[in-house]
Amino acid sequence: MAESHGGAKSPAAGAHTEADGGHHGSGFPPFESSTFASQLVSLAIFFVVLYVIVSKLALPRIGGAIEARQNKIEGDLAEAQKLKDMSDAALKAYESELASARARAQAIGNETRDKLNAQAEAERKALEDQLAAKLAEAEKTIASTRTAAMSNVRGIAADAAGTIVQQLTGVVPDAASINAAVDASLKG
């Protein structure tokens, strides 16, 4: 395809190059065999130079940069993972510490409450005992007072009976009969 194309164009190109330099034989430059040796030699030189530069300098350099980045990324990820693990561990420690502190606080609270309850109970009991004693004493006082009062009542009643009998009959009754009469009425 290229050959036929070149063939068709060759007269014009040939004329042009003839006028230009005059050292080109056939018309189509890619098929001018006189230039092949020069091109092959320069290609060989420059391609070998390029190969040496690429294999000895360029690829190790760029490959090294890429690898360094890869290592850095992996190292940083590992570091981040380590820090995350550490923070997770710290969080766990904090939570367990918090839980145990809460349990301790609960225990202390319960203990204190029990102690206070016991103390209050004891105080209440002491107070009740005290009150009961006082009550018993008061009842005893009342009983003795009432006994005294009742004996007084008997004396008053005997006096009153003696006085009444004296007023009504004009005779002073003897004490023994009055006492017997008062006892009888008090029993009745």
Nearer to other proteins among residue 42 and residue 152 (C-beta):
42
Nearer to other proteins among residue 29 and residue 109 (C-beta):
29
Report the C-alpha gap between 32 and 17 in whole angstroms. 12
Report the C-alpha gap between 91 and 99 in whole angstroms. 12
**CA angle at residue 33 from 32 to 38, to 5 degrees?**
105
26 binds other proteins (CB under 8 A): no
69 binds other proteins (CB under 8 A): yes
**Part of the chain binding other proteins (CB under 8 A), chosen from 63-71, 77-85, 119-127, 172-180:** 63-71
Q: Are 17 and 28 in contact (CB under 8 A)?
A: no
Q: Are 153 and 161 in contact (CB under 8 A)?
A: no
Report the C-alpha gap between 3 and 31 in whole angstroms. 9
From 65, 83, 93, 150, residue interacting with other proteins (rule: CB under 8 A): 65
Instruction: Provide the minimum distance between the beta carbon of 74 and other proteins in the complex, in angstroms, as a whole number.
Output: 13
From 7, 25, 66, 74, residue interacting with other proteins (rule: CB under 8 A): 66
Q: Give the three-class secondary structure for 83.
A: helix
Query: 140-149 in b/e burial notation, b at 16+ Cβ within 10 A?
Result: eeeeeeeeee
From 7, 18, 25, 68, residue interacting with other proteins (rule: CB under 8 A): 68
Report the C-alpha gap between 68 and 74 in whole angstroms. 10
From 7, 62, 87, 89, residue interacting with other proteins (rule: CB under 8 A): 62
Question: Which spans of this chain sit near other proteins (rule: CB under 8 A)?
Answer: 1-2, 5-6, 9-10, 12-13, 16-17, 20-21, 23-24, 27-32, 34-44, 46-47, 49-51, 53-55, 57-59, 61-66, 68-69, 72
